[in-house]
Amino acid sequence: MSSDAPTRIRWRIIALIFVVYVLMFFDRVNISIAAKYIMPEYGLGKVEFGVIFSAFVMAYALAQVPGGWLGDRFGPRRVMTWAIVWWSVFTALTAVAGESFLVPWLGVVGSFVVVRALIGLGEAAAPANGNRMVANWSAPRERALAAGLTLAGTSIGGALTPPLIVWIMTHWGWREAFHLAGAAGLLVALVWYWLSADTPAEHPRVNAQERALIGLGSNPTPTQARGAVPWRRIFASRDLWCLSGAYAVLGYNVYFYLAWFYLYLVNERGFSLEAGGIYTMAPFLTMAVAGPLGGWLSDALVARRGKRLGRSGLGGACMLLTGVLVTAGATTPNATLAVVLLAASTGTLVLSVAAFWATTIDLSHRYAGITAGVMNMGGNLGGALSPTLMPWLAERHGWQVSLYVMGALSLLGALCWAGIRPERGIDAEDSALPV
Domain count, the chain: 1
* 47 or 348, which is more confident: 348
pLDDT in tens, 260-281: 787 778 777 877 777 777 777 7
Write down the H helix ranges in 332-429: 335-350, 353-363, 368-397, 399-418
Contact 52, 46 (CB under 8 A): no
Q: Report the distance separating Cα 123 and Cα 86, nearest Å.
A: 8
Give buried/exposed letters for 61-92 (b at 16+ CB in 10 A, else e): bbbbbbbbbbbbeebbbebbbebbbbbbebbb
Spatial distance between the Cα atoms of 62 and 294, rounded to a whole number of angstroms: 28
Q: For the residues of 288-338, what is the DSSP string, one character each? A: HHHHHHHHHHHHHHHHHH-HIIIIIIHHHHHHHHHHHHHHHHHH-S-HHHH
In order of 54, 157, 267, 356, 417, the CA distances from 91 in angstroms are: 16, 15, 26, 28, 35
pLDDT at 433 over 80: no
At 25-40, the pLDDT tens digits run 899 888 888 888 999 9
Q: What pLDDT does residue 218 have? A: 38
Does 290 or 220 have the greater pLDDT score? 290
Cβ-contact 81, 182 below 8 angstroms: no
- How far is the C-alpha of 82 from the C-alpha of 225, rounded, in Å? 20
Q: Return all residues near 349 (Cβ < 8 A) that are at least 6 apart.
A: 250, 253, 254, 287, 290, 318, 319, 322, 410
44 contacts 111 by C-beta, under 8 angstroms = no
**CA-wise closest residue to 253 among 415, 354, 373, 389:** 389
Q: Let me know if residue 225 belongs to a domain.
A: no
Q: Check if the beta carbon of residue 410 is closer than 8 Å to that of residue 319.
A: yes
Range of the domain at 33: 9-193+209-214+230-418
pLDDT at 43 over 80: yes
Any domain includes 427: no
Please check whether residue 397 lies inside any domain of the structure: yes
User: Is 238 among the domain residues?
Assistant: yes
Residues 6+ apart with CB under 8 A from 401: 393, 394
Percentage of the chain lying above the pLDDT 90 cut: 53
Query: What is the model's pLDDT at position 139?
Result: 87
- 281 assigned to some structural domain: yes
CA distance 248 to 207: 40
State the burial class of residue 409 (Cβ atoms within 10 Å of its Cβ: 0-12, 13-18, 19+): buried
Residue 199 lies in a domain: no
Is residue 435 one of the residues assigned to a domain? no
Average pLDDT over residues 247-251: 94
Q: Residue 384 has what pLDDT? A: 77
Rounding to the nearest 10 degrees, give the CA dihedral for residues 322, 325, 331, 332. Answer: -150
Residue 427 has a pLDDT of 64
Q: Any residues with CB less than 8 A from the CB of 334 and at least 6 apart, and which?
A: none
CA atoms within 13 A on the CB side of 419: 14
**E strand or H helix that includes residue 31:** helix 9-42
pLDDT in tens, 126-158: 999 999 999 999 988 888 999 999 988 887 887
Q: Determine how many CB atoms are found less than 10 A away from the CB of residue 25.
A: 24
* Lowest-confidence region among 77-81, 189-193, 218-222, 253-257: 218-222
* CA-based radius of gyration for the chain: 21
Cα distance between residue 382 and residue 176, in whole Å: 31
Answer whether residue 209 shows pLDDT above 50.
Answer: yes
Mean pLDDT of 369-391: 87
Does the residue 243 lie in any domain?
A: yes
C-alpha 324/C-alpha 177 separation (Å) is 36
DSSP 208-230: HHHHHHHT-TT--------S---
Model confidence pLDDT, tens digit, residues 393-415: 888 888 888 889 999 999 999 99
Query: What local confidence, expressed as pLDDT, does residue 157 receive?
Result: 83
Per-residue pLDDT at 221: 43
At 434, the amino acid letter reads P
Which range among 7-21, 88-102, 145-159, 186-200 shows the weakest confidence by mean pLDDT? Answer: 145-159
What CATH number is given to the structural domain containing 49? Answer: 1.20.1250.20
Give the integer Cα–Cα distance in Å for 136 and 230.
Answer: 20
Whole-prediction pTM value?
Answer: 0.79
Alpha carbon distance, N-terminus to C-terminus of the chain:
29
What are 164-208's pLDDT values in tens digits? 888 998 889 899 999 999 999 999 999 999 999 999 999 999 999
According to the model, what pLDDT value does residue 288 have? 82
